[in-house]
Structure 1
Amino acid sequence: MYQLLNDLSIIEVSSFVASPTAGLYCAQMGAEVIRVDHKAGGLDYDRYMLTKEGRSLSWENLNRAKKSVALDLRSGEGRELAVALAAKTGNCITNLPEKSFLSHDAMKAAQPAGAPDMTSVRIMGWHDGRQAMDFTVNAAAGYPLMTGPEEWDMETAPPVNQVLPAWDFITGAYCAFAMLAALRQRDATGEGSEVRVPLGDVAIGTLANSGTMAEMLFRGGDRERLGNAIWGAFGRDFRTSDGVRFMVAALTPKQWAGLVKAFDVAAPISALEAETGEDFASGDRPRFEHRHALFDIFQKVADGLDYAALSARMAAEGCTFEKYRTAHEAANDPELVRDNPLFGPSPPNPSGFEYPATRSFANLPGREPGNPAPAPFLGEHSEEVLAERLGLSSGAIGALVDAGTVALSDKDSR
C-alpha cells in the first residue's frame, strides 16, 4: 500500500465486483475505505469459491485493506446509521439503486455542518435504470459473437462468453478515477458531485472508444471470427513439436524483424512478398490481410522445434510471446508470482488460508509500497467506526448491538 491518499476516507456500500474494486484501488493507494454491509453479509459475502470454513476467497481479495461495519440494513435505524456515516464522511462509493435509502440527496440532506460537500459515485446497470451485470452487457455489446473458431458460421454458431468479468473490473477502475476527479473538483471549488456510472455505458462506450463501433458502421456488417488471431495485426497461437502452445504478436517493425529472424523464415517471406507484391515489413495491413499464408510459414517452423529451443531463439531476438498456461500454472509460476514485486507475503486472511497477495498495480520507484493488508472480518470495525465517525459512546453502541442493529466481528462464527 502506498500512502498517497491517506488523508481520504470513503464509505463503500457495495457488493459483487465493480463497486468493491473501486474501493480496493483507493485503499491500495492509502485511502481509509470503510465498507458497510448488512450484518449477515452483503450479496457477495458468500460468493463462490468458499474455503471449507465457508469464507469467500473472492470477497477476501476484493476487500483487502478496508474496514468493515456491519449494520441491519433492513431496519430503519441501521439505514440511518449508514446514511449518517456517508454524510459525515462526505465521500461514498456504492452500487445501490439511486432510489434506495442511500440516494445522493438523502446523504447530502443528512450532512452535518462542516462536512465536505457530498461526493458520491454510483454504479448503475444501464443508463435508463434497467438492471445489468457483466455477462449481460457483454452480450449486448457484441463481443461474444466475435469470439470463436474462424471456421464457425456467423449465422448459426453460438456466442462464446469471456470468463473474466472484464466490464466489472474496468468499471471499478473507472469509478476510482471518477471519484478522484470529483474530489479534485471539490478541492478547487468546494462543490461536491453526484457521479453515476452505468456498467452498460462502460461496455458500449469501450466498443466506441476502441474504434469497433465505427468499424461496424463503416463496413455495414459484422467482423468475421478470427479464432486466436489478432484483429488488424499479426499475431496468433502456434504449437511446437512437443505440443506446447504459445502466443506471438508482432505489431511493430522491430517485433516483426525479430520474429522473422527467430523463426529463420526470411526466404519464404521474401518469396511470398514476390508472389503478392507486398512488403510485410511495411506495417500491419499486409501482414493481417495475408495472415493465413504467413501463419502457415511460421507454423511449419514450429512443427520442427520443441518449445525450449524456439522460445530461446525468440527471447534472443526480443520477440513478444508467451506460453499458454492454465490459471493454476500461472498461480504457481515463479516469474509471474514468487519473484514479482507486485506480490507480497500473505497477510492474516480471514479465511486462514495463506497465499501471495497483491500490492498496488502501480509501481512508484523510490517509494515503499508496503506489504498487502488483510481483508477485515465482517463487522470487525463496527465499534471503532461508529465511535470515531459518529461520536457514539460505548454504551450507545452496546445498546445497538443488543438490539441487533449493529453486529461486531464474525471472526469466530465460522
Structure 2
Amino acid sequence: MSAPATPLPQDRPLDGLRVLECSSFVAGPSGCLTLGLLGADVVKVDPIDGPADINRWPVSGRTGRSLFWSSLNRGKRSVAVDLRSPEGRELVVALATHPGPDGGLVVDNNVGRPWLTYEALAARRPDLIQVHIQGYNDGRPAVDYTVNAEIGVPGMTGPVGSAEPVNHVVPAWDLLTGMTAVTGLLAALRRRDRSGEGSYLALALADVALAGVASMGWLAEAIEQGDRPRHGNHLYGSFGVDFATSDQHRVMVVALTVRQWRNLVQVTGTDRVFKALEEAAEVDLSLETDRFRMRETIAAVMRPWFAARTVDEVTHELDDAHVLWSRYRTMSESVRELAKDPVTSVVTEIDQPGIGTITSARSPIRLGGNWTDPRPAPRFGQDTDQVLADVLGLADHEIAGLHDRGVVAGAA
C-alpha cells in the first residue's frame, strides 16, 4: 500500500533542534514524535532495563514486539542508561544541559527524580527549557481513562437510557496533552530565541481535559442546565445520526449547515414532508436547534430512504448531492480502503527492525504540500554510543568503559 518513498526534506522547520525525551506511554512520546516529524533530533533516554511501556499492547503477532512502542517512537534515537547510578544520572544531565542554541530542551513525565528537576538542570544551563507532564497538577498519577471518567464524559456517551458509563477507546486527552506540550515547548523556544531566557512549563493531563471540555462550553452548560443526558448516536445540538442500508451497512449523516440540510432533504425526497412538519410543529428546520429538537422525527422520516438502498447506491446519491456523510467501517476495512490510493493517504508502510513491514503514518502536516515519510523506531538502546559520541564527544574507550561498568546499554 506504500506510495513511492519521499526523501526527508532538508528544510524541515525543526532541523538541527535536539530534544531530550524522558517519558513513556502516550502524552510525552506522542508530542516528541511530532517534534521529530518536523525535523527535531529526539533523543529518548530510558532506564537500562527498558521503559515501562516497551511491551505494551498491541504487539506484533509475528514477533511479539510492541506495535505501540514502535509506532510512538518512530524516528527517535534510543539511549539506555542506568538511571539509578550517579554516573548514569550525570550522563543524562549532561545530555540535557549540553551547550548550543539548538539544545537544552527537555520533555519528561518523571516523578521522584530530583536530579532531573528544572532547578537542578537550570543550575547547569540557565536557558534550559523543560516541559514536565503530570497526571494531576499536584503530582498525583493519572491516565486518560481515569481522567475521562472523572470529568463526566462517559456519562454522556452511549445508548439513550443506559445507566452504565461508556468509556471511549481513543486516549484523546493523552494525545491532546502531547500536542499542548509541543505548543508550549515551541512557544518557550521562541521566547528564548528573543530574550535568552529559559522556561519551566508544567502540564497536567487532568487540566488539559478540563480545559478542553470547558472550551466547548460543556462545563458552563452543566452548571446552568445540569448534566447532559445521553443521545446515542445523535449529534448534539444539530442533526446527525446513523442509518442502516438495505444490505446491512450503516452510514453516518450530518447536517450542520443550512446548505447541508437542504442537500440532504433534496436527495431523500422529503421536502414536502418537512414543510408540513414545520407548519404543524411550528419549527424552522433551517435552524440547528430545531433540527436537534425534532431529531427523532427527522430520522424516522428519512430512515425508509436509506433502508431501500444498498450502501453503494447511498454512496453514489449522497456524494452527488454533496451531503456530509461517511460509511461505518472497521479499522481493517479502513486500512484496505486507504490502500487504494496510497499517494494521497497519510497512511503508509515502513520496515520496522525487529518486526518487519508494518502499517504506519506520515506526518499529517504537509510541508509545502508534500508528505514527510516516517522513519522506523530504533531498537531499544541502539543509539547509545552514537549519542554519547556525537553530543558529549566521548571517545570510544570512554564509551566502552561505561558499558563495562553497566552504566549504559546498547550497541557496544
Inter-partner Cα distance in structure 2 for 1:53 and 1:231: 44
TM-score by length of 1: 0.92
Q: Tell me which residue corresponds to 2:191.
A: 185
Inter-partner Cα distance in structure 2 for 1:294 and 1:110: 66
Shift of 1:208: 0.6
Q: Tell me which residue corresponds to 1:340.
A: 344
- Cα RMSD of the aligned pairs, angstroms, is 1.7
Give me the identity figure in percent.
39
Match of 2:117 among 77, 80, 103: 103
SS of residue matched to 1:354: strand
Match of 2:233 among 228, 242, 249: 228
Q: Tell me which residue corresponds to 2:171.
A: 165
**One-letter amino acid matched to 2:149:** A
Kindly report which structure 2 residues correspond to 1:135-154, keeping only aligned pairs within 5 A, or say none. 135-152=145-162
Deviations 1:219-243 (A, max 9, x none): 1x11010001111011011111111
Shift of 1:352: 2.7
Q: Tell me which residue corresponds to 2:301.
A: 297
Q: Tell me which residue corresponds to 2:5.
A: none
Deviations 1:228-261 (A, max 9, x none): 1111011011111111111111101111111111
Kindly report which structure 2 residues correspond to 1:237-248, keeping only aligned pairs within 5 A, or say none. 237-248=242-253
SS of residue matched to 2:192: helix
**One-letter amino acid matched to 2:217:** G
Deviations 1:78-102 (A, max 9, x none): 1221121111131001111275431
Match of 2:48 among 36, 39, 42: 39
Q: In the alignment, is the contact (CA less than 8 A) between 2:18 and 2:105 conserved in 1?
A: yes
Kindly report which structure 2 residues correspond to 1:3-14, keeping only aligned pairs within 5 A, or say none. 3-14=12-23
Q: Tell me which residue corresponds to 2:406.
A: 404
Q: In the alignment, is the contact (CA less than 8 A) between 1:56 and 1:351 conserved in 2?
A: no
TM-score by length of 2: 0.93
Inter-partner Cα distance in structure 1 for 2:127 and 2:382: 28
Q: In the alignment, is the contact (CA less than 8 A) between 1:248 and 1:320 conserved in 2?
A: yes
Q: Tell me which residue corresponds to 2:276.
A: 271
Q: Tell me which residue corresponds to 1:72.
A: 82
**One-letter amino acid matched to 1:106:** A
Aligned residues: 398
Moved over 6 A (4+): none
Q: Which runs of 5 or more residues in structure 2 are unaligned?
A: 1-7
Shift of 1:4: 1.0
Match of 1:311 among 299, 312, 315: 315
Q: In the alignment, is the contact (CA less than 8 A) between 2:255 and 2:324 conserved in 1?
A: yes
SS of residue matched to 2:78: strand
Q: Which runs of 5 or more residues in structure 1 are unaligned?
A: none
Inter-partner Cα distance in structure 2 for 1:126 and 1:267: 55
Shift of 1:365: 3.2
Match of 2:375 among 370, 373, 376: 373
**One-letter amino acid matched to 1:26:** L
Kindly report which structure 2 residues correspond to 1:347-366, keeping only aligned pairs within 5 A, or say none. 348-366=351-369
Q: Tell me which residue corresponds to 1:320.
A: 324
Shift of 1:338: 3.1
Match of 2:97 among 74, 87, 111: 87
Deviations 1:56-105 (A, max 9, x none): 10111101111111111122221221121111131001111275431111
Q: In the alignment, is the contact (CA less than 8 A) between 2:253 and 2:324 conserved in 1?
A: yes
